[in-house]
Chain A
Amino acid sequence: MRRVLLLGSLAYGLLFFGLATLNGGMLALAIPLVVLLGAAFLWGPGAPRLRITRSLSAESIAPGTPVVVTLSVINEGPPLEEITIGDIVPPALEVTDGEASVLTSLPTGEVVEIAYAVRGKRGVFEFQDVQVTAGERLGVFRRHAMLPVPGRFSVLPEVSKMPQVTLHPLRTRAYAGPVPARQGGSGVAFYGVREYQSGDPLRWINWRMSARHSHELFTNEFEQERVADVGLILDSRRRSDVRGRSGTLLDHAISATASLAASLLNDGNRVGLLVYGGFLDWTFPGYGKLQRKRILEALAQVEPGESMIFESFDYLPTRFFPAKSQLVLVSSLCTDDLQMLVRLRARGYQLLIVSPDPVSFEAQVLRTRPGVDLAARIAHLERALLLRKLRRAGIQVVDWQVDRPLARVVHASLGRTPQWFRAVGLEV
């Protein structure tokens, strides 16, 4: 439009100047401009009729892995002398290879392909429109169009390998798994002794105890191991998030939740996810690889949220989780969360908290000054007190300084380290 306006204004200007000065030469000067405009009018393109298809090399990927985006454009309308086709790349993505736009001429029925690779951090990325600018060869008259060609892919959070997490829920499910079920039966760990019942395997008979009773036999019982219902809760409240040098604390919390979900699902447990922040995002409990994918997809979309309602844990919807099941909360914790967490424990939920330490994380960003050091010490003490109160209420707490690998911290806190290993001071 600006080109047409510029040339049109110049031509008008010359015409009026010529009329005003009664100088015929001015009209002659306007002729090249009028010819240029006439050529644009004559050879101007019709409305572009293009069929564009988008294909992505993957729907969900690990961070840092490139995705190849391919656009295939077929001209189903009149020939286009000069056309620029540009894909609108979401701003958070980085083009690592190829180009997202092409300038070409496109005769009827011809196909042009645009292929480029993008890379991004955790998130869900949606492609919407492709921008098309068709013009005649001189580029004076151009038509713009935005053609919707949707596409979507997710960059999943990083999943690190975790050791087996020991859970002790009050209630387990019927299927065999790794969680001690607090019930005697077949298993590995010794649970108790009972009278012999017909059908008991002979090797389970406790001969030492049976020898003390002349007419009775006794059988060893082992603790049953089953799968459990685990509710993962990720705290995505903005007030519990801290921005540091290497991203945010929420990014670490998300990565920890993903690793825990993968580990728990790997052990055969039924796992659900609740993201608690600006709103409630609930992933219904399930088993296996499909559930792992669902949870990672949900975690890929997590952003810090702010809400008057969900500012504290008071509105944590416990009805989502089966009674007496295991809850795993990943949160940096705020002081006023104590009441609700103790209440949850009192309702019979077995609660494990993995808490990324916001004080150490923020202290790394701040410069060392006497005031900052003092404030950090006070904050450390407040946090230590909060964690102690939680532990005293029977809640398992993993205090995680995010510069240490989560797997090591979890293993040290919850892993099944043999008693004798710890007795000789060889803590992991």
Chain B
Amino acid sequence: MQEAGRKITAWLLPAGTVLAAASLAMGYGLNELWGGAVTVGVVGAFWVVGQWRRWGWVASVALVLLIGAAAVGLWLGAGGGWMLVGVVAALVAWDLDRFAWRMRAAGRVEDADALERCHLQRLLTVSGAGLLLGAAALSLRVRLGFAVAFLLALLAVLGLSRVVGFLRREGD
């Protein structure tokens, strides 16, 4: 039962990585940005190899590279939808990579099946919410004056600063 539970992560992890790389590559490819598509493909392949060889540091490096690639792709005019899916899939793969590492690092896992099920439920909820909100943000067209936009950006930065500050202060 425990092994079966772990198989879901073992299957979802490379699937998420491939989806992230494929989505970003597709976004680049559809706009004939072949260099970007190949780079993203190489990063995805590197991450899969890292998962196979259990190189713990690869996940964070690959996440930064793929999100950076999504931002650059969007700036170069690649499809926002593909980029958003790529970012969400990269986040899911990164989270599953960390989860698999925690499971391996612990000597004993109590009720691994339930632990994994709850983790996947939470991940699905959060990534689904992120994807929906991101898609909504991409499709919304609101015209704002400079002052309002600046104020909203300032609020966003301040809010995010508070969250990050709290998590850093209270966490490890």
**B-side binding surface: helix, strand, loop or mixed?**
helix
Please classify how large the interface on chain B is, using the bins under 10, 10 to 19, 20 to 34, 35 or more.
35 or more
Q: With an 8 A cutoff between CB atoms, is A175 at the interface?
A: no
Residue among B64, B70, B163 facing the most chain A CB atoms (10 A cut-off): B163
> Considering only CB atoms, which chain A residue lies closest to B64 in the complex?
A10
Question: Is B18's beta carbon under 8 Å from chain A?
Answer: no
A21 to B153, CA, bound (A): 14
A128 to B60, CA, bound (A): 33
Q: Could you tell me the distance between the alpha carbons of A3 and B105 in the complex, rounded to whole angstroms?
A: 17
Total A-B Cβ pairs within 8 A: 176
**Is the CB of A81 closer than 8 A to any CB of chain B?**
yes
CB-based contact B95/A84 at 8 Å: no
- The interface stretch among B5-13, B31-39, B44-52, B81-89 is B81-89
Contact of B137 among A1, A27, A36 (CB under 8 A): A27
Partner of B108, one of A6, A27, A103: A103
Q: Are B75 and A139 in contact (CB under 8 A)?
A: no
Interface contact B75-A21, CB-CB below 8 Å? yes
Q: Which residues of B from 11 to 69 have beta carbons under 8 Å from A?
A: 60, 63-64, 67-68
State the CA gap A86–B88 with chains docked (Å): 33
Whether B172 lies near A103 (C-beta < 8 A) is: no
Q: Chain B residues near A38: list those with CB within 8 A.
A: 163
CA distance A139 to B70 in the complex (A): 24
Interface residues of B in 118-139 (CB under 8 A from A): 118-119, 122-123, 125-127, 129-131, 133-135, 137-138
Does any Cβ of B come within 8 Å of A166's Cβ? no
**How far apart sit A185 and B10, CA to CA, in the bound complex (Å)?**
86
Whether A105 lies near B118 (C-beta < 8 A) is yes
Residues of B within 8 A of A17 (CB): 71, 75
Contact A101 B107 (CB under 8 A): yes
Chain B nearest CB, measured from A282 CB (Å): 42
On chain B, the residues within 8 Å of A139 by CB distance are: 95, 98-99, 102
Interface residue? B4 (CB, 8 A):
no
B3 interface hit (Cβ, 8 Å): no
B151 at the interface (CB under 8 A from A): no
Most buried by B among A14, A103, A133: A103
A-B contact sample (10 more), CB < 8 A, given A4-B171, A103-B102: A4-B164, A4-B167, A10-B67, A25-B80, A25-B83, A32-B84, A33-B91, A35-B133, A116-B107, A139-B102
B-side residues, CB < 8 A to A, are 60, 63-64, 67-68, 70-71, 74-75, 80, 83-84, 87-88, 91, 95, 98-99, 102-103, 105-111, 114-115, 118-119, 122-123, 125-127, 129-131, 133-135, 137-138, 153, 156-157, 160, 163-164, 166-168, 170-172
Binding site for B on A (CB under 8 A): 1-6, 8, 10-15, 17, 19, 21, 23-29, 31-41, 43-44, 81-82, 84, 86, 98-105, 112, 114, 116, 133, 136-144
Sorted nearest first, the 3 A-B pairs with minimum C-beta distance are: A99-B107, A32-B130, A103-B106
